[in-house]
């Protein structure tokens, strides 16, 4: 990370604040490249995972380029589709599911990756949220069902800890950038899909419930406002809290992580039907979003 800081400083890889940003100072962008190096360590330690890790490197590389020069949505989509295809080949998706379901999975996975990227807008949120999800997956891996080599979860956990050392503070030393949020999103999707396919327990997707509710309901909100959902904005619930209500970034990030941690615990400890767990965890989040967001959409001096 320290080496990257020198490179970023030399090549002017920085994030300039604008009217849509949740920060006010020039900050190094692309600190999430640490996840790419974690992926490289993963393929060195466990070469059998070369196919999904190649996908991570492809999607991470194009995202890093996009951090430097803005690429068109079509170019990014081509690389995202390539990376997800490699992941699906490794997980044997095309043999396990019919073609129509594979197409739905493409939309689902690419949607989650982009939603994870959209949610990366304040200090600490990507790192602490990812730690919670990865921690839950590692708990399952050790105590419920061993579905992957533990290193493949420890590596992104360690990368998150290193990243948070520089990001989880009032004045962040660096931001994840697309390279960070997209790469860790791909990694988490890889782990979740592998776990769900092996266990046939789709309740594990609720490990992403908090991000899912905020991202989906914000998209609906923006569509109602007839906005371009692919353009930058400040309408996510976490952005309202940080920007309109002036809550400290680290507190907002911590709240999101704690709520998600509670949901992870419910999913792991309560062996209930998926739909019951969905109603128990996701419906309250949706009601909170619908009720509180309109009340908080005003500036606090």
pLDDT digits (tens, 9 = 90+) for 165-183: 999 998 999 999 999 999 9
Q: Which two tokens stand for residue 18?
A: 């604008």
Which pLDDT value is given to residue 167?
A: 95
Residues 6+ apart with CB under 8 A from 95: none
Helix or strand (DSSP H, E) at 45: helix 33-45
Sign of CA dihedral 79, 117, 8, 36: negative
Q: Are residues 112 and 167 in contact, defined by beta-carbon separation less than 8 angstroms?
A: no
Structure confidence by residue, pLDDT tens digits, 205-257 = 999 999 999 999 999 999 999 988 878 788 999 999 999 999 999 999 999 99
Number of H helices, E strands in the chain: 13, 2
Q: Are residues 30 and 179 in contact, defined by beta-carbon separation less than 8 angstroms?
A: yes
Q: Which two tokens stand for residue 231?
A: 């353009």
- pLDDT at residue 25 is higher than 70: no
Give 23's pLDDT tier (boundaries 50, 70, 90).
low
Q: Which two tokens stand for residue 290?
A: 């619908």
Q: Which two tokens stand for residue 243?
A: 């920007």
Q: What number of CA atoms fall less than 13 Å from residue 81's CA on the CB side?
A: 10
pTM, two decimals, is: 0.94
Which pLDDT value is given to residue 24?
A: 56
- pLDDT at residue 51 is higher than 80: yes
Give 153's pLDDT tier (boundaries 50, 70, 90).
very high
**Higher per-residue pLDDT: 297 or 130:** 130
pLDDT above 70 covers a percentage of the chain that reads: 95
Which pLDDT value is given to residue 11?
A: 84
Q: Are residues 21 and 149 in contact, defined by beta-carbon separation less than 8 angstroms?
A: no
C-beta atoms surrounding 26 within 10 Å: 10
Q: Give the mean model confidence (pLDDT) for residues 11-28.
A: 69
Average pLDDT along the chain: 93
Which pLDDT value is given to residue 13?
A: 86
Structure confidence by residue, pLDDT tens digits, 64-82 = 999 888 889 899 999 999 9
Report residue 102 CA to chain centroid gap. Answer: 22
Structure confidence by residue, pLDDT tens digits, 123-147 = 999 999 999 999 999 999 999 999 9
């Amino acid at each position: 990370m320290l080496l990257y800081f020198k490179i970023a400083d030399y090549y002017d890889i920085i994030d300039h604040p604008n009217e849509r940003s949740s920060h006010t100072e020039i900050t190094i962008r692309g600190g999430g490249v640490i996840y790419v190096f974690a992926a490289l360590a993963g393929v060195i330690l466990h070469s059998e995972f070369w196919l999904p890790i190649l996908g991570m490197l492809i999607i991470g590389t194009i995202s890093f380029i996009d951090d430097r020069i803005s690429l068109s949505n079509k170019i990014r989509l081509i690389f995202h589709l390539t990376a997800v295809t490699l992941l699906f080949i490794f997980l044997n998706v095309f043999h396990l599911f019919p073609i129509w379901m594979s197409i739905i999975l493409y939309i689902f996975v690419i949607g989650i990756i982009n939603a994870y990227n959209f949610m990366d807008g304040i200090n600490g949120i990507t790192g602490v949220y990812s730690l919670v999800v990865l921690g839950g997956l590692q708990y399952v891996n050790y105590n419920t069902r061993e579905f992957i080599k533990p290193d493949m979860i420890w590596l992104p956990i360690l990368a998150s800890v290193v990243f948070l050392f520089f990001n989880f503070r009032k004045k962040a030393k660096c931001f994840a950038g697309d390279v960070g949020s997209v790469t860790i999103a791909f990694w988490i999707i890889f782990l979740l899909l592998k776990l769900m396919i092996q266990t046939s327990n789709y309740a594990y997707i609720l490990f992403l419930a908090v991000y899912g509710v905020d991202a989906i309901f914000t998209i609906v909100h923006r569509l109602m406002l007839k906005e371009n959902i692919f353009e930058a904005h400040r309408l996510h619930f976490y952005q309202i809290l940080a920007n309109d209500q002036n809550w400290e970034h680290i507190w907002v990030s911590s709240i999101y992580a704690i709520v998600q941690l509670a949901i992870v615990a419910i999913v792991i400890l309560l062996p209930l039907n998926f739909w019951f767990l969905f109603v128990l965890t996701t419906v309250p989040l949706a009601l909170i979003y619908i009720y509180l967001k309109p009340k908080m959409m005003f500036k606090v001096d």
